[in-house]
Structure 1
Amino acid sequence: MQLNLSNIEYTYPSTAEPALCAVTATFPRGWTGIVGDNGVGKTTLALVACGLLRPDAGTVSPPLFSAYCAQDAKEPPDNVVDFALAHDGLAVRLRRELAIEDDWPWRHVTLSGGQQKRLQVACALWAAPDVLAMDEPTNHVDASTRRAISDALSHFDGIGLLISHDRELLDTLCTQCLLISKGTVIMRPGGYSQASSQAFLERSSAVHARDEARKEKARIEREARRRREEASRAAGKRSLRGIDKHDADARRRVRVAVVTGKDGQAGRLSSRMAGRLEDAEARLAATRVEKRYEANVWLDAEPSRRKLLFRMGPCSIPLGDASLVVPALHIGNTDHIGLVGDNGSGKTTLVRRIVEGLAETTRFLYIPQEPDRIQERAALGALRNLPASQCGRILSVVAQLNSDPNRMLEGDAVSPGEMRKLMLALGIVERPQLVIMDEPTNHLDIESIEALERVLAVYPGALLLISHDAAMVEAVTNVVWRTRPVEGGYELVTG
């Protein structure tokens, strides 16, 4: 069994540009990752594949029983009551694997986001569709929920379409990945790591081919210039102008050259060089390389001269009816710390305590998980009030973080992911000694996450990163603080 999409085209009624154009792909049994920047048509493709959108052109075959799980799980699944009343083996196993309590289906509105997502996944798997499309199933959930969802999805034996920026999930589940970029789709074997490695090798080859094409074009241009100069000198030699009419020998040599045609060879060779130059220019134009911004954004940043930026003795931080037990903590001037743990375990509360305890002389940048409207308006206002030179620097950083700088200057609002990028870019020019980011990968596509990783990994100062993204934590931090449940609440482990 496989699902075939052939020359699919789709344009939303309210837009001029097509969301999908001439997309052809084959999806066999197992999970296929659908990867690409925000807005390139990933969700549209999944909706077409599941029969929820009818394409303007192209075919989806054969007709199969399909289910689509939206990124937002706030609406209860259509079959939630049937699942709640079911006691077959699959329903029992899904409740156990996803830790779903018996009363969850009856109080869906009171569940947390992670609990709603678990219930959504369970209902979709219990329906046993031929085709199951999961749209960002691990977005905004903690590590334990991610693991539970991954384990449950791994047992699905139909055709799975996985839209995700969770690289660990893509590597665990997928046997192939469909990479969507600027209107083109490429199917690559393996999980995301294998697919992106192949894309990197191909880009490197394209860069090498482009550089070689440029060198060849420059060499031919030099040779063509030399031939034109030779042809010009030869033309001058064939002319009798400037030769004394009494200089019989010189006039005879010119006539011999014209008769033998030797001086005309330079002109013919010059003409042929023009053709070779056109070929070289065509080869260079055909060598396409995706633009990447990889300059150093931390040009003026340096670690604090103080070796220790923060110190706190052992304490217990209240968390409603529970508490977080914290050992003695310190943050060095070059430490890159990852703070990980389940939602509700006090990570953000701890970070706020750290921010309050920083010395007034410490230059720090704190970007919260969900900036409020006041912070968003302040960031946009700061950008628009900057001098042209500083504004250009900010927008350059935004471009390196895989966003269109022009969108930052349009209107009064940007997406949550782009707002974090703007806040980081604005903070960079202040040369912070400590950067604190709370769940920075929320709302970001994979290219943006990897761009953010490149920026944070080379930051010379101290970094405190709260994240459920295991790959990012591994890539940019060298110390991990972890919250874990204990009797009466949670404790922080730093070793």
Structure 2
Amino acid sequence: MLAARDVSFGFADRRLLDGASLTVDDGERVALVGRNGTGKSTLLALLSGVLPPDAGLVERGRGQTLGLLAQTPQLDLGKTVGETARAALGEVSALIAEHAALAERAPDDPRLGELLARIDDLGGFDVEHRVAEVLSRLGVKDAAQRVESLSCGERRRLDLARLLLAAPDILLLDEPTNHLDREGITFLAAELSRHRGPALFVSHDRAFIDVVGTRIVELEAGKLFSTLRPKDGRGLVDSYLEDKLLRDEQLEREAHRRRRLYVRELAWLRAGTPARTTKQQARIQRADALADEVESQAQQLREQTARVAIDAVKGARLGKTILAFRGVALGRGERMLFTGLDLALVAGQRWGIAGDNGAGKTTLLMSVLTAAGLVEGERAVRPRAGVIEIGKHTRVALFDQHRASLDPEATLEEVLAGNNDHVVIGPPEGEQRRVHIASYLEQFLFDGADRYRRVKTLSGGQQNRLAIARLFQHGANCLMLDEPTNDLDVETLGVLEEALSALDGCALIVSHDRRFLDRVATGIVAIEDGKATCWPGDYTSFERLHAQAKGVETEVGPPVVPRDDVELPARRPRSGKRKRNNKEEHELSSMEEVILAREARKEELTALLSHADTFRGDAQRARAASEELHGLDEEI
């Protein structure tokens, strides 16, 4: 069991948690969601003991061990991958050594049975097989490689492998699917489903949450709101979005009611009624308190309803050729990654790139940047065969999953505007406009005063929002997106999807978020078995067509194709106006009574849903009442 009771925490200028409470029982797998920067990673740090709360209490079951997957891995850079992984099995490794020594010294010692039972509980004697399996399934291939030589993504996967091998009783995971390919995500989902203790994970991967989660908890305005998995077969994420909509509607109604009350009290105050009595003095004090509540609720509404605004920037004019691959083969070192890529990108196309980790997806993006003259030296990637054609008017821009182009010591103003007060939006050779830095930051859900914040103080999701703000700043018409959905909240994801769908240029998108690819991709480049193959349609279509080509059945059914060769039976012509029978006459006469009863019930439900306590006390009851209300509208 893991619990937080009335926990509060904040920094000098901002309160992230305000009396928040949460309990995660054994066997529960709770997804923690919320907008970027609301304090999700901070909550994990509080629950793990890395940070002490300002107020409240954090509890966990007696004797239970806890493991935290942080956004930034803390690994010994001098060790090898294998040494790091085996160190996570410290207890079982020590027990196996103790069992071997005791068996040789005293083969009849009764403690051997106790040691054997504990070793079995921790996975048995075959620890090397377990280490090799976890590393392989998570895409960490070379156990002899030193940690210092690993990429950021490889270090993150090694940290996750270390945690799974340690098998703590309580799991706290911050964006565990970042940098995992499809096989790695499937493996992680299976591991979490078998976990017996409490598991709390921060994730914006909607498909992963639907598969793994038993409950969603949203952190909003310092409070925690819970959504259980529905029993009617609907997805957990869809149910959460419905609950969130109900809460937002209720907050708006409550704010409207308080504003009306405040207007009445303000009119009474302006009338100049002398505060001679205790009752009148108390009313004045209540009016002052009400003013504070109205302002607080208004601020909360502004924060909840604010959306990232990506303005349409007219890119550089497009030529006949935007980007083309002619028989391209790419490699890294002595290894050939893939061959045979033939693809010409035209305006409006967005190609997702699918493949396992190490297949060459990011290498493909780097080859385009090299061909465009944006990458030189050791980082440059040139085709082993074939040619990459960049159009005369093509303007390429990169979204980097590791955010390496963001200087952690720079301020947001320096990143977007240099040393100026205004951000220049638009391509250098086209139409440009100037926007004040504070206004531009607010479009991406930053505060205007954040212009002086340093990049290193932002959360992972906030840094991604900053990178997106810069990506769409200069009107590029050929976007290279490397895992753009990592750490992004649901609202920002939706806006990014809309912006890409409206893009008048083209894009290559590396992503393991299949829902994101289903919404934005017009085709899929699949890198598999050393070959690059192009498939039309979104990711779901690719999976179906790919499985059909291999002769494998999939859970995704084939599309329904209308048939023209089936002749429908002709309808019999009506003979004229039909007379109502006795049953229909009875129903018609009682219809007014039924409608009055339905409208009375509608008023009851409307009154119930107008109270905030309905949502705080029982979210399931609130959802059922809302669904009944919608049903009554249709019946009436």
Structure 2 counterpart of 1:406, from 445, 449, 453:
449
Aligned length: 438
- 1:362 counterpart = 2:399: no
Q: How does 1:129-168 map to 2 (within 5 A)?
A: 129-168=168-207
Residue 381 of structure 1 and its aligned partner are, at CA, apart by: 5.9
8 Å contact kept, 1:7–1:24: yes
8 Å contact kept, 2:204–2:487: no
Cα distance in structure 2, aligned partners of 1:374 and 1:117: 19
8 Å contact kept, 1:84–1:105: no
Residue 34 of structure 1 and its aligned partner are, at CA, apart by: 1.9
Matched to 2:532, the amino acid is E
Note the alpha carbon deviations across 1:344-372, whole angstroms, 9 max, x for none. 22222222333423223223433334454
The normalised TM-score by structure 1 is 0.71
Structure 2 counterpart of 1:45, from 16, 19, 43:
43
| Farther off after superposition, 295-304 or 60-69 | 295-304
Name 1:272's counterpart in structure 2.
none
Cα distance in structure 1, aligned partners of 2:49 and 2:506: 49
- 1:98 counterpart = 2:95: no
Note the alpha carbon deviations across 1:196-240, whole angstroms, 9 max, x for none. 3421343245457767988x799999xx9xxxxxxxxxxxxxxxx
SS in 2 for 1:327: strand
Note the alpha carbon deviations across 1:40-74, whole angstroms, 9 max, x for none. 33334334434555545433255350312222263
8 Å contact kept, 1:400–1:451: no
Matched to 2:23, the amino acid is T
Matched to 2:342, the amino acid is A
Name 1:345's counterpart in structure 2.
359
Matched to 2:215, the amino acid is Q
Residue 19 of structure 1 and its aligned partner are, at CA, apart by: 5.1
What are structure 1's unaligned runs of at least 5 residues?
Answer: 225-276
Name 1:22's counterpart in structure 2.
19
SS in 1 for 2:214: strand
Residue 396 of structure 1 and its aligned partner are, at CA, apart by: 4.1
Name 2:278's counterpart in structure 1.
none
| Farther off after superposition, 159-168 or 389-398 | 389-398
Matched to 1:202, the amino acid is R
8 Å contact kept, 1:11–1:56: yes
8 Å contact kept, 1:365–1:427: yes
Name 1:178's counterpart in structure 2.
217
Note the alpha carbon deviations across 1:74-107, whole angstroms, 9 max, x for none. 3547633445686848365855763559997776
- 1:195 counterpart = 2:262: no
8 Å contact kept, 2:442–2:448: yes
Cα distance in structure 1, aligned partners of 2:329 and 2:526: 15
Residue 186 of structure 1 and its aligned partner are, at CA, apart by: 1.5
8 Å contact kept, 2:359–2:527: yes
SS in 2 for 1:338: strand
RMSD value, Cα: 4.5
Cα distance in structure 2, aligned partners of 1:150 and 1:435: 31
8 Å contact kept, 2:4–2:56: yes
Structure 2 counterpart of 1:482, from 523, 526, 529:
526
Q: 1:425 to 1:120 in 2, by over 3 A?
A: closer
Q: 1:473 to 1:396 in 2, by over 3 A?
A: farther
Cα distance in structure 1, aligned partners of 2:292 and 2:421: 41
- Structure possessing the higher radius of gyration over alpha carbons: 1
Matched to 1:289, the amino acid is L
8 Å contact kept, 2:75–2:159: no
Name 1:35's counterpart in structure 2.
33
Q: Percent identity?
A: 22
Name 1:63's counterpart in structure 2.
62
Name 1:463's counterpart in structure 2.
507
8 Å contact kept, 2:318–2:394: no
Cα distance in structure 2, aligned partners of 1:301 and 1:198: 38
Cα distance in structure 2, aligned partners of 1:132 and 1:169: 16
Name 1:6's counterpart in structure 2.
5
Cα distance in structure 1, aligned partners of 2:462 and 2:88: 36
| Farther off after superposition, 315-324 or 409-418 | 409-418
Q: 1:159 to 1:337 in 2, by over 3 A?
A: same
Residue 173 of structure 1 and its aligned partner are, at CA, apart by: 1.4
Structure 1 counterpart of 2:469, from 425, 439, 456:
425
Residue 450 of structure 1 and its aligned partner are, at CA, apart by: 4.1
Name 2:338's counterpart in structure 1.
324
Name 1:309's counterpart in structure 2.
322
Cα distance in structure 2, aligned partners of 1:435 and 1:471: 19
- 1:79 counterpart = 2:91: no
Matched to 1:380, the amino acid is E
SS in 2 for 1:289: helix
8 Å contact kept, 2:5–2:56: yes
SS in 2 for 1:169: helix
Q: How does 1:365-404 map to 2 (within 5 A)?
A: 365-372=397-404, 380=414, 383-386=417-420, 388=422, 390=424, 392=435, 395-404=438-447
Cα distance in structure 2, aligned partners of 1:389 and 1:118: 37
8 Å contact kept, 2:318–2:505: no
8 Å contact kept, 2:483–2:510: yes
8 Å contact kept, 1:308–1:333: no
Cα distance in structure 1, aligned partners of 2:168 and 2:415: 49
Q: 1:84 to 1:64 in 2, by over 3 A?
A: closer
Name 1:235's counterpart in structure 2.
none
| Farther off after superposition, 463-472 or 202-211 | 202-211
Q: 1:347 to 1:25 in 2, by over 3 A?
A: same
Residue 334 of structure 1 and its aligned partner are, at CA, apart by: 0.9
8 Å contact kept, 2:421–2:437: no
SS in 2 for 1:348: helix
Cα distance in structure 2, aligned partners of 1:346 and 1:61: 43
Q: 1:394 to 1:343 in 2, by over 3 A?
A: farther
Cα distance in structure 1, aligned partners of 2:509 and 2:161: 31
SS in 2 for 1:24: strand
8 Å contact kept, 2:422–2:437: no
Q: 1:123 to 1:346 in 2, by over 3 A?
A: closer
8 Å contact kept, 1:97–1:151: no
- 1:491 counterpart = 2:488: no
8 Å contact kept, 1:98–1:118: no
8 Å contact kept, 1:50–1:131: no
The normalised TM-score by structure 2 is 0.57
Note the alpha carbon deviations across 1:411-466, whole angstroms, 9 max, x for none. 58675755554454345353333332222234545554444334334334322222
Matched to 1:23, the amino acid is A
Residue 156 of structure 1 and its aligned partner are, at CA, apart by: 0.5
Residue 387 of structure 1 and its aligned partner are, at CA, apart by: 6.0
What are structure 2's unaligned runs of at least 5 residues?
Answer: 77-83, 97-118, 230-235, 268-286, 372-388, 425-433, 537-636
SS in 2 for 1:392: strand
Q: 1:56 to 1:189 in 2, by over 3 A?
A: same
8 Å contact kept, 2:204–2:490: yes
Residue 178 of structure 1 and its aligned partner are, at CA, apart by: 1.9
Note the alpha carbon deviations across 1:1-26, whole angstroms, 9 max, x for none. x43322123468xx575554312122
Cα distance in structure 2, aligned partners of 1:197 and 1:456: 26
Residue 31 of structure 1 and its aligned partner are, at CA, apart by: 0.5
8 Å contact kept, 2:309–2:495: no
Q: 1:319 to 1:125 in 2, by over 3 A?
A: closer
| Farther off after superposition, 391-400 or 19-28 | 391-400
Residue 380 of structure 1 and its aligned partner are, at CA, apart by: 2.3
